[in-house]
Amino acid sequence: MDFTIQSALVPVEQGYETVDVQIVDGCIVAIAPNLNLVGTAVDGRNKLLLPGFVNAHTHSPEMWQRGMIPPTPLELWIAELYEFEPLDPEQLYLSALGTAVETLLSGGTSVVDHLVMVPGRELESIAAAVRAYREVGIRAFVGPLMQDEPLTASIPSGGVEREHIPYQRSTQESIAVLQEAILQFHKPDEGIVILPAPTGLQLSSDDLFEGFIELSDRYTLPLHTHLLETKAQQMLAHEKYGCSAVEHLQQLGFLSDRTSLAHCVWLDDADIAILAETKATVVHNPLSNLRLGSGIAPILKYLRAGVNVAFGCDGSASNDSQDLLEAIKIGSILHNVTDFDYRHWMTPREAVEVAALGGATGLGMADEFGSLTVGKQADLVLYDLKNLSLLPRTDPIGLLVLGRPTQAVDSVWVRGDRIVTNGSITTINVDDLRQNLFDRSQWVTNRQSTKIAQVEAHYRSVMNLPEQMRGYS
């Protein structure tokens, strides 16, 4: 449907301007004051119009563990997470719906879902998530989370000889699942992209990475993975490869301008130079990095070196939400304490550009969306500037990024389709979603993890932590 957003406030170099925006066949065709009406009129008065943000890294199935796992480092947290992962594709469908809704209502129009799958039912799992994203109408990049090494292999050996139980799915089986997923579900013209997304070097062999690189090249797909989220992963990379994880990924040919890398907390200057040279993208997940004690990624240093950066919420078991505006706020002001030169700090306008254009760039799609530009697809968000949390009137983007906006999204369009109107999702029944999530879950108390015991003692040893009489739980 063609439409014209009338009298909306948009950012320009010297402040803001009130303009009309014409959309024809899902694309922006004109941006200027007092344009002739094309199609349906949309009232943009007292509203801020911005490009949609990209939730550039999350794991939708983790919604079922939201608020459940106590504060622990990643290597212990993930052991408990996998012990209680969803076992039903219908749950994956519901959690993908929930992830999409929360992303949209916090300004996101795209989501990169590093999808945890039900073992033995991988294609059903992918189908469930894809069905959810298609129903909601959000732009979705679904990366089936693949590994071929067991959890115990993700912790440095510390010089101790260790045996690992083989992973349940072989390398070739994982590659075959991904290829079939591409053939069945990859429909970029309909807003669904399947991307190769190995878990990370700590849990994926070189053979798996190389197989995924080949599929990426064959089908021209973006690549995604975790990278150096924790100190332990940095130690493991040097133990396995005799060089940094970034150097190893470069040697494998994994890094390019369509590669996005979640976390990147433990990079050194040589690593940063490689990312700048290869034009790979860092996805900053500040909330999960704080929640799991992983560290603070040096985002200001990355930006100054010319590395593209995007924002992600990460999964709802390590955040524990999908509020993009919260991630953008924390991901911006957190770094005011990492660099005393305030001229390096991220401004609200820079944060908005990172969240939108930075995310699109990391997916190799900056020519298609990510900015208010004639010729790009209409992935757009209108914010209500008369919402109490955005008052009194000062700087609209400052209020949006530095404040705590609640229910401030008025309308959202993805590829020109309006899927949020007057603050409500129009494509699905959100009340039914809430009831389903409630009915299929239960309050949890005094839960004990058995898998923690398999890794905790060794983890504490290699990380030089003191022995203790009992586990954390």
Final residue in a domain of this structure, among 362, 389, 415: 362
Q: What is the 3-state secondary structure (H, E, C) of the chain?
A: CCEEEEEEEEEECCEEEEEEEEEECCEEEEEECCCCCCCEEEECCCEEEEECEEEEEECHHHHHHCCCCCCCCHHHHHHHHHHCCCCCHHHHHHHHHHHHHHHHCCCEEEEEEEECCCCCCHHHHHHHHHHHHHHHCCEEEEEEEECCCCHHHHCCCCCCCCCCCCCCCCHHHHHHHHHHHHHHHCEHHHCEEECCEECCCCCCCHHHHHHHHHHHHHHCCCEEEEECCCHHHHHHHHHHHCCCHHHHHHHHCCCCCCEEEEECCCCCHHHHHHHHHHCCEEEECHHHHHHCCCCCCCHHHHHHCCCEEEECCCCCCCCCCCCHHHHHHHHHHHHHHCCCCHHHCCCHHHHHHHHHHHHHHHCCCCCCCCCCCCCCECCEEEEECCCHHHCCCCCHHHHHHHCCCCCCEEEEEECCEEEEECCEECCCCHHHHHHHHHHCCCCCCCCCCCCHHHHHHHHHHHCCCCCCCCCCC
Q: What is the pLDDT of residue 153?
A: 84
- Domain membership of residue 466 (yes or no) is no
Q: Say if pTM beats, i.e. exceeds, 0.85.
A: yes
Residues 10 and 22 in one domain: yes
Mean pLDDT by 10 residues, the chain (473 residues): 97 96 98 98 98 98 92 88 82 98 98 96 98 98 95 80 79 97 98 98 97 98 97 94 97 98 98 98 98 97 98 96 97 95 96 98 98 98 97 97 95 98 98 97 80 82 78 48
Q: What are phi and psi of 126, to 5 degrees?
A: -65, -45
Q: Give the total number of structural domains in the chain.
A: 2
- Contacts (Cβ under 8 Å, ≥6 apart) of 323: 102, 106, 313
- Domain membership of residue 189 (yes or no) is yes
Residues 131 and 21 in one domain: no
Residues 26 and 126 in one domain: no
Q: What is the pLDDT of residue 444?
A: 82
Of 124, 74, 67, 68, give the one whose Cα is nearest residue 96. Answer: 124
- Domain membership of residue 388 (yes or no) is yes
Note the pLDDT tens digit of each residue in 62-103: 999 999 888 899 988 988 887 776 679 999 999 999 999 999
The Cα diameter of the chain in Å comes to 74
Residues 45 and 70 in one domain: no
Note the pLDDT tens digit of each residue in 105-144: 999 999 999 999 999 999 999 999 999 999 999 999 999 9
- Domain membership of residue 133 (yes or no) is yes
Question: What is the distance between the alpha carbons of residues 216 and 198, in angstroms, rounded to a whole number?
Answer: 12
Question: What is the distance between the alpha carbons of residues 181 and 412, in angstroms, rounded to a whole number?
Answer: 29
First to last CA, the chain: 54
Q: What is the pLDDT of residue 157?
A: 82
Residues 177 and 288 in one domain: yes
Residues 385 and 292 in one domain: no
Average pLDDT, the chain: 94
* CATH number for the domain that contains residue 30: 2.30.40.10
- Domain membership of residue 287 (yes or no) is yes
Final residue in a domain of this structure, among 383, 398, 424: 424
Question: What is the distance between the alpha carbons of residues 265 and 284, in angstroms, rounded to a whole number?
Answer: 9
Q: Which domain holds residue 228?
A: 52-362
* CATH number for the domain that contains residue 63: 3.20.20.140
Asked if residues 265 and 233 have their Cβ atoms less than 8 Å apart, the reply is no
Q: Which two tokens stand for residue 223?
A: 């690549």
Q: Which two tokens stand for residue 468?
A: 């203790």
Residues 149 and 282 in one domain: yes
- Domain membership of residue 232 (yes or no) is yes
Q: What is the pLDDT of residue 473?
A: 46
Residues 155 and 170 in one domain: yes
Asked if residues 194 and 182 have their Cβ atoms less than 8 Å apart, the reply is yes
Residues 271 and 419 in one domain: no
Other C-beta atoms within 10 Å of 435: how many? Answer: 11
Q: What is the pLDDT of residue 472?
A: 46
Residues 316 and 398 in one domain: no
Residues 226 and 320 in one domain: yes
- Domain membership of residue 311 (yes or no) is yes
Q: Which two tokens stand for residue 104?
A: 């949209």
- Domain membership of residue 306 (yes or no) is yes
Residues 357 and 377 in one domain: no
Asked if residues 455 and 75 have their Cβ atoms less than 8 Å apart, the reply is yes
